[in-house]
Amino acid sequence: MKLAILSESPADEMALRVLVEAVLGHPCQFLHPALRARGWPSVAQVMPAVIRHLHFNTDATGLVVVVDADDSVVHTAEHERPEYFHPQCRLCRLRAVFRQTVKRLPPSHGRERILRCIGVAVPAIEAWYLCGRDNSVSEAAWIEGQARGRIPYTRAELKWRVYGTDRPTLAHEIDCALREVARHRHDVRRLEYDFPGFSTLANDLRHWHAEK
Ligand SMILES: [Zn+2]
């Protein structure tokens, strides 16, 4: 299976490779998405060009996209209803961009379309890295904090807990990210339970498997 990953940094991409293979239960071949993004909204802006590139110039099976939620509205079960779309939810937005982009493309390389796999890290990917190590960090804790108007931790605090600094070098960021995701290499259930924004990504991947 050939996949490309589009996320906010090269370090995220290295960690996501491990998590994607953990969900699928086998190694994958990873293609370069051709364009890099830096944070939101850059990911949403370059995604159509990345999809078109993968569709016409490669035989990639699918595209994995992961962004940080930051302070945006968190995707909930309510958003999964047919025709529902929340304009302040990044998962809803990215799914809409994906759908609108692939629907205009003719078949290419023997496939109708490339497959979609989207996750949103609440509030940032460092929260996923802390899963199983820091029990105070979870999507539920973040949502509860947002509702009370008092967030339980800042994104800078999460970076400190993972990297020991809020301005890590790329090499240090990659080392720390790989060390943390290694905990989930053989079992992603805890990560899925604590972070439904990861579970949507895992479900998209499993759905592909079922289609094969
Ligand atoms: Zn949503």
How remote is the CA of residue 89 from the centroid of ligand 1, in Å? 5
How remote is the CA of residue 95 from the centroid of ligand 1, in Å? 9
How remote is the CA of residue 44 from the centroid of ligand 1, in Å? 14
How remote is the CA of residue 26 from the centroid of ligand 1, in Å? 29
Distances (CA, A) of 7 to 36, 120, 140, 143: 8, 10, 23, 23
Question: What are the pLDDT digits (tens) for 80-103?
Answer: 998 899 999 999 999 999 999 999
Our CA angle for 24, 172, 1, nearest 5°, is 20
How remote is the CA of residue 98 from the centroid of ligand 1, in Å? 14
For helices 10-24 and 170-181, angle between their N-to-C axes, nearest 10 degrees: 20
Cβ proximity of 145 and 152 under 8 Å: yes
CA distance 176 to 125: 12
Over the chain (212 residues), the average pLDDT of each successive run of 10 is: 93 96 95 84 94 95 96 95 94 96 92 94 98 97 95 96 94 97 95 97 87 60
How remote is the CA of residue 118 from the centroid of ligand 1, in Å? 11
Within 8 A by CB and 6+ apart from 144, the residues are 152
Q: Give the per-residue pLDDT at 209.
A: 65
**Residue 119 burial (CB count, 10 A):** 29
Q: Give the per-residue pLDDT at 6.
A: 95
How remote is the CA of residue 84 from the centroid of ligand 1, in Å? 8
How remote is the CA of residue 81 from the centroid of ligand 1, in Å? 10
How remote is the CA of residue 179 from the centroid of ligand 1, in Å? 30
How remote is the CA of residue 69 from the centroid of ligand 1, in Å? 11
Q: Give the per-residue pLDDT at 108.
A: 93
How remote is the CA of residue 57 from the centroid of ligand 1, in Å? 31
Query: DSSP class of residue 1?
Result: -
How remote is the CA of residue 201 from the centroid of ligand 1, in Å? 13
Q: Give the per-residue pLDDT at 37.
A: 83
How remote is the CA of residue 110 from the centroid of ligand 1, in Å? 32
Cβ proximity of 151 and 142 under 8 Å: yes
Alpha-helical segments (H) within the chain: 10-24, 42-57, 90-102, 125-130, 139-148, 155-163, 170-181, 189-194, 196-211
